[in-house]
Chain A
């Protein structure tokens, strides 16, 4: 039993999104507060839901960009490319360690890109889901 506890702790450590640092954690926590404010019954973020949202084709946005993957590609561990030809660093935190560390930048790009893809702002719940997934990648 004494040996089992550290082993379990190692396993738990491997399973958890251990990549996220304090900045990313704070960002997700801020979205959680906002999500709970919008919906008091909000149960928490889901990486699986975030992944599905990221991969899905949406309507309501601009015709050239129906999905996050239009520019970021379906593989978030490789570089994407903007429609104007610029490379976008991989969205996965494991590949781009300073991702989501600047709250202003995160909000700037969610603001622009949600409007381009969905034609509206994303909800704090959607942002938190996507971030939860991306920091685990």
Chain B
């Protein structure tokens, strides 16, 4: 009766959830912390996968087998205190499922991942005018979401370190490899732990069909507003196409820059100095100049809520008409070798459209970047 027994603890769905979440968050972390914005599509994919997994986990917390259920592991404060006290003692009580501290960590991890997903969508909507919140959030709101998102990301990183350290510590203490248990689903428990499990935890069978039905219901509940949000027009985004007369007058020598890239005062300056336009004569007839000036003034950076409009509206470069001299531009393009800009299809740094597939819209979505090979 005193011999330890190896028993199934973590059901298959819970284990798959755990490792898929690890993979999704690793993808989001690597693309978010280490890689540049061209990896945004992967970052978002990681985040959305994590969101779906956590939503499933919440359902599985009510429909899974014994140790997957919240009811089996949400600790009372007294349990936590007792567990903390036991940490300083030599003797210990192994836990069949999560120990009280581990349980708190699990709940916190789920909450932070959920917060990361929601604030991430907030950043996407407000700052990049993408995703389900693009019609609801201003750029300023998106920027606030980004601060929370970053804070949550660093918090999660610290929590993952603590989680792994806790697993390591508890594995040593309980002389049972908890990480392996999350792979095999089985734990080796002594008689005391088995007795505690029997006395304190109500055994429940998994209800996969209920989980499936609830998941499908939740998916529909989330999908309907998400699709409505995706279909709604984004807030403060200029029209996708530029005025044909403007393109005809300004687009022969260079890409027709979206008017949202400069504030009205700078456009006025530009139009007043066309006779020496970046080293060339680009004079227009008086009639063309007047209509184009009016178009630029009515569509300048002040009128839009895109990232580029905000970044270039407060342009303090000594050469403010040359966007490539702004600190914003240089920060985002700093890692690109000169050889890339020298490629025939690029020719110059001012040729945004060579790499930005959506340059004409002024949106400059990271996913639309495609650097030509030659």
A residues with CB within 8 A of B: 62-65, 81-86, 108, 111-113, 115-116
Which listed residue, A83, A85, A86, A108, touches B279 by the CB 8 Å rule?
A83
Q: Which 5 residue pairs spanning A and B have beta carbons closest together?
A: A84-B254, A85-B347, A85-B351, A115-B281, A82-B253
Question: Does B354 reach chain A (CB closer than 8 Å)?
Answer: yes
Q: CA A84 – CA B346 in complex, angstroms?
A: 9
Question: Does B348 reach chain A (CB closer than 8 Å)?
Answer: yes
Q: CA A82 – CA B280 in complex, angstroms?
A: 11
Question: Does B252 reach chain A (CB closer than 8 Å)?
Answer: yes
Question: Which residue of the partner chain A has the closest CB to B254?
Answer: A84
Chain B residues, Cβ within 8 Å of A85: 254-255, 346-348, 350-351, 354
Q: CA A112 – CA B254 in complex, angstroms?
A: 15
Which range holds the interface residue count of chain B?
20 to 34
CB distance from A122 to the nearest CB of B (A): 12
CB distance from A3 to the nearest CB of B (A): 51
Q: Which of B160-188 contact A (CB under 8 A)?
A: none
**Binding site secondary structure of chain A:** loop
CB distance from B61 to the nearest CB of A (A): 56
Chain B residues, Cβ within 8 Å of A62: 276, 279-281
Question: Does B283 reach chain A (CB closer than 8 Å)?
Answer: yes
Q: CA A108 – CA B284 in complex, angstroms?
A: 8
Q: CA A84 – CA B277 in complex, angstroms?
A: 11
* B253–A86 touching, CB < 8 Å: yes
| Contact pattern, B 229-256, Cβ under 8 Å of A = 1, otherwise 0 | 0000000000000000000000111110
Question: Does B282 reach chain A (CB closer than 8 Å)?
Answer: yes
CB distance from A82 to the nearest CB of B (A): 4
Q: CA A82 – CA B282 in complex, angstroms?
A: 12
* B283–A111 touching, CB < 8 Å: yes
Chain A residues, Cβ within 8 Å of B255: 84-86
Question: Which residue of the partner chain B has the closest CB to A65?
Answer: B280
Q: CA A83 – CA B279 in complex, angstroms?
A: 10
Q: CA A18 – CA B191 in complex, angstroms?
A: 105
Chain A residues, Cβ within 8 Å of B346: 85
Question: Which residue of the partner chain A has the closest CB to B352?
Answer: A85
Q: Which of B274-308 contact A (CB under 8 A)?
A: 275-276, 278-283, 285
CB distance from A66 to the nearest CB of B (A): 12
Chain B residues, Cβ within 8 Å of A63: 279
Chain A residues, Cβ within 8 Å of B285: 108
* B348–A112 touching, CB < 8 Å: no
Question: Which residue of the partner chain B has the closest CB to A70?
Answer: B280
Which listed residue, B275, B281, B350, touches A84 by the CB 8 Å rule?
B350
CB distance from B246 to the nearest CB of A (A): 15
* A84–B253 touching, CB < 8 Å: yes
CB distance from A37 to the nearest CB of B (A): 23
CB distance from B190 to the nearest CB of A (A): 74
Q: CA A108 – CA B252 in complex, angstroms?
A: 12
* B347–A84 touching, CB < 8 Å: yes
Which listed residue, B280, B348, B350, B351, touches A116 by the CB 8 Å rule?
B280
